[in-house]
Amino acid sequence: MIHAVWVINKAGGLVFNRSYSDVLPPLPLNAVLILAGTLHGIHAITGRLDPTTNSKSRSGPSSGQGMEAFEAEGWGGRVWLSGTGTKFIVLHSIPHSGLDELLRRIYEIYADAVMKNPFHTPEMPINSSLFETRLQTLIAGVNT
Amino acid sequence: MDGSYYPSNPLPQSSTSTNRFSLTAPSSSPSTSTSTSKPTTTAGRIASATGLYTSSSPALAPAPTGILDRPLNKGKGAEVGMSAFAFLLAEVVSYSQSRVDSVTDLERRLSSLGYEAGLRILSLILLRNTQQAGGKDPKREHRLIPILQFVHTQVYKYCFGKPADGLERSVEGEDEYMLTMNQPPLTQHISIPKDMSQLSCEAFTAGIVEGVLDGLDVPARVTAHTVGTDQYPQRTVILIKLDQKVMDREEVLGK
C-alpha cells in the first residue's frame, strides 16, 4: 500500500504532495512543509556521514549517499535523489516490494509531465493536472 | 539548508530563459546560412537553433553538413526524437508566452510558426512523392476533398507518424471541416493552467495545416480546440474554415 508521494526540490521545499490512502492522518500543509524540510536536512546530514565514500575523493559535501529509507512499526518511507537534486519520497506500508521500480516510474512521469510542460517553473510547486492524473493511475495500479 | 549540500550540476532542461532562441546573431556555425539570410523571421530563428545543434562541434566533425545540404529524399535518421521535440516545443511556447499579452496572441504566434513549417512540409512531401514515383506523373491535388484527405493522411503521417483520427464536415456550415486527433503527440505533455483554459498549444498544428492549405491555394482560417472526451482528455479538433473564394471555385468546377 502506497500512502503518499512527496516531491522535494533541491532547496528543500516541498513542491508536490498527495495522499493515496485514507489511513494517513490529515496534516495541515504547513506541517507537511516542515516535515519535508526536516527530511531534506536529515538526508543532507546522513550524506555527510557516509563512511563508504573515500573522503579524499570528495570534492564537496554532497558526494556521499544520503538516507535511502526509513522504517517504523508497519510503515516506512523510501527516498530517491535524482541526478538534478530533486528528491522523490514514497510513504508505504511494510513489507512492500517494487519500490525502486515505482520510484523510477514516478521520475519518468515527472520528466514527461512536469519538465516538458512549458507552464511549469523549475523549483516551483507542481501544478500539472497531467502529472496528477498519471500518478494517480500508477499508484492505483500498485495499491490494488 | 541552503542548496549547497547538493550537486550543483545544472538542470539540463531547466530554466525559462530564452537564450536558446535568441540566436538571431550569426551563429558560429558556417553551415547555417539560412539563418543569417533571414534573421528577421521567427522561423529563421528556429532553423538557426536547430542548425546550431547539428553543427555544435565543428572540431569533431571535419566536414559539417548543414540541414540544407542533406539529400531531400527520405533517408534513415530522418526522424526526430519525441522528447527532443517536446522540449523544443516547450521552449517555443514559453518563449512566445513571454512576448504576448493574451491567449489569443499566443495562439496566433504559435500558429504563425506552424504556418512556416507547413509551407515547407508541403513542398517536401510533394517532392518526395514525385521522387518515389520515379519522376513520372507528378501530382498535386486541386479539388477540395482530395486536398483535405491529403492533409488528413499524408501530412499528418509525415508530421506525427500516423494519419489523423477523423476528418468530417461541420454540421454548421458547408465551408467548415474538422480534423480530429485523439492524442496529439506534439502537446501530449503540456497541461494548460486553469487561468488559460482557452489555450490550445495545438495552434501550432493548426498553423501547419493552414500553411499546407495555403500552399495548395486553399486559403482558410484554421484554429485548434481541445474537446476532451472521457477516454481522450486531450482530444483536439482542428477547425478549418474555408475562404469563400474556395467555395466559389468548387462550385464552378462542379462535380
ipTM: 0.79
Is residue A116 within 8 A of residue B190, CB to CB? The reply is: yes
Residue B2 has pLDDT above 50, yes or no: no
Tens digit of each residue's pLDDT (9 = 90 or more) over B15-70: 433 333 333 344 444 443 443 444 444 443 444 334 334 444 445 555 667 777 77
The CATH number of the domain holding residue B243 is 3.30.1380.20
Residue A129, C-alpha cell as written in the block:
493536472
Is residue B218 within 8 A of residue B240, CB to CB? The reply is: no
Higher-pLDDT residue of B72, A34: A34
Q: Per the domain annotation, does B28 fall within a domain?
A: no
Closest Cα in chain A, distance from residue B197 (Å): 12
Full set of structural domains in chain A with CATH: 2-143 (3.30.450.70)
What backbone torsions phi and psi does residue B95 show, to the nearest 5 degrees? -65, -50
Q: Per the domain annotation, does B3 fall within a domain?
A: no
Q: Per the domain annotation, does B227 fall within a domain?
A: yes
pLDDT of residue A109: 94
Taking an 8 Å cut-off on Cβ atoms, the answer to whether A121 and B4 are in contact is: no
For residue B146, the enclosing domain spans: 79-253
Q: How far apart are CA B162 and CA B155, in angstroms?
A: 9
Closest Cα in chain B, distance from residue A59 (Å): 10
pLDDT of residue B152: 94
Which residues in chain A have Cβ-Cβ distances shorter than 8 Å to B11? Answer: 84, 122
pLDDT of residue B132: 83
Taking an 8 Å cut-off on Cβ atoms, the answer to whether B4 and A122 are in contact is: no
> Number of folded domains in chain B?
1
Residue B46, C-alpha cell as written in the block:
528556429
Q: Per the domain annotation, does B19 fall within a domain?
A: no
Q: Per the domain annotation, does B26 fall within a domain?
A: no
Q: How far apart are CA A76 and CA A68, in angstroms?
A: 11
Q: Name the residue among B3, B86, B92 with its Cβ closest to that of A116.
A: B86
Q: Name the residue among A47, A83, A117 with its Cβ closest to that of B5.
A: A47
Q: Per the domain annotation, does B167 fall within a domain?
A: yes
Q: How far apart are the first and last CA of chain A?
A: 8
Tens digit of each residue's pLDDT (9 = 90 or more) over B181-234: 999 988 889 988 888 888 899 999 999 999 999 999 999 999 999 988 888 888
Q: Judge whether A13 is closer than 8 Å to chain B, CB to CB.
A: no
Q: How far apart are CA B42 and CA A81, in angstroms?
A: 39
